[in-house]
Amino acid sequence: MDASTINELIAGSVGGAAQVIVGQPLDTIKTRAQVAPKGMFKGPMDILVQTIRKEGFFALYKGMASPLIGIAGVNSLLFAAYGVSRRIISPFPQLSLKEIAAAGAMAGAANAILASPVEMFKVRMQGQYGAATDKRLHVVVSDMWSHWGFRKGIMRGYWVTVAREIPAYAGFYTAFEFTKRKFSKTYGPQIPVWALLTSGATGGIGYWLACYPLDVVKSRVQLRTTPPTGTPVQYIGHEIRMIVSESGVSGLFRGLSPSLLRSIPAAASTFAAFELTREYLREYTGI
């Protein structure tokens, strides 16, 4: 592994930790909007109020341990895979936006390997509403392993996570690079931190707009008491039909508003932390 890839792994870990800490409360609201029984909540604001009232403020951070523990691996893999994908697509540093989208899609597919179990445990923690029977993370992990094993338990929802991550990171990196390049025309290659934050936020919005219905499907599949059956195409299609029959087409976008709100600070902090850490490492190592 070359030094530039190691730098990307380290910077990705720092960026991922920033993302989890900043974005977890709105992520919890988003997940509950997607998976809560119909009629349990009136909307995102009601989820926020009821969660704090019944479970306390820190319930908004339910499920954070899973991504925080796994985020170093997940984001390290993501940013490293993106760097490698860029170099596979073109030997030149300045890629077109189409090439950026392709590299992002490749990185997203690789990222799903680690993202799937991290997301699954996070969703199952967030899908608990403060009852006496709520389980701690280690119990959730143990139950999924003992009842269903690795593929149907730990990696549940892997293929729908792959299906989500490919368009998501194509949109993420394309929106980020497009915005960053616009700022670069005004400020040069070293854009101000606020412009970097804005570019990251735009990338986060691009991420959710590119994949949101598949994220709803993923959350529901991962929260079910039994694993999905049939091929990935069959069970993804079945879940989409179920959502539409229950809630109409709008059901595919439940929780989108907190996701978009979350993406602004979370993605901004991710990219800012990643870029600043990578610049520091570049100066420190000379690579």
1 has a pLDDT exceeding 70: no
pLDDT in tens, 140-157: 999 999 999 999 999 999
| Domains of the chain, first to last | 3-285 (1.50.40.10)
In terms of pLDDT, which residue wins out, 190 or 271? 190
Interatomic CA distance for residues 189 and 204, integer angstroms: 21
pLDDT in tens, 246-271: 999 999 999 999 999 888 888 778 87
75 has a pLDDT exceeding 80: no
Amino acid at position 183, single letter = F
Q: What is the mean pLDDT of the chain?
A: 91
Interatomic CA distance for residues 147 and 104, integer angstroms: 35
Residue 207 pLDDT class (50, 70, 90 cuts): very high
In terms of pLDDT, which residue wins out, 266 or 169? 169
**DSSP codes, 141-190:** HHHHHHHHHIIIIITTTHHHHHHHHHHHHHHHHHHHHHHHHHHHHHH-SS
Q: What is the percentage of the chain residues whose pLDDT exceeds 90?
A: 67
76 has a pLDDT exceeding 80: no
Torsion angle, CA of 197/22/220/211, rounded to 10 degrees?
0
Task: Name the least confident of 87-91, 243-247, 265-269.
Answer: 265-269
**DSSP codes, 233-259:** HHHHHHHHHHHHHHH-GGGGGTTHHHH
Q: Among residues 34, 218, 261, 7, which one has the least CA distance to residue 115?
A: 218
pLDDT in tens, 40-52: 999 999 999 999 9
- The structure tokens 């091929």 sit at 231
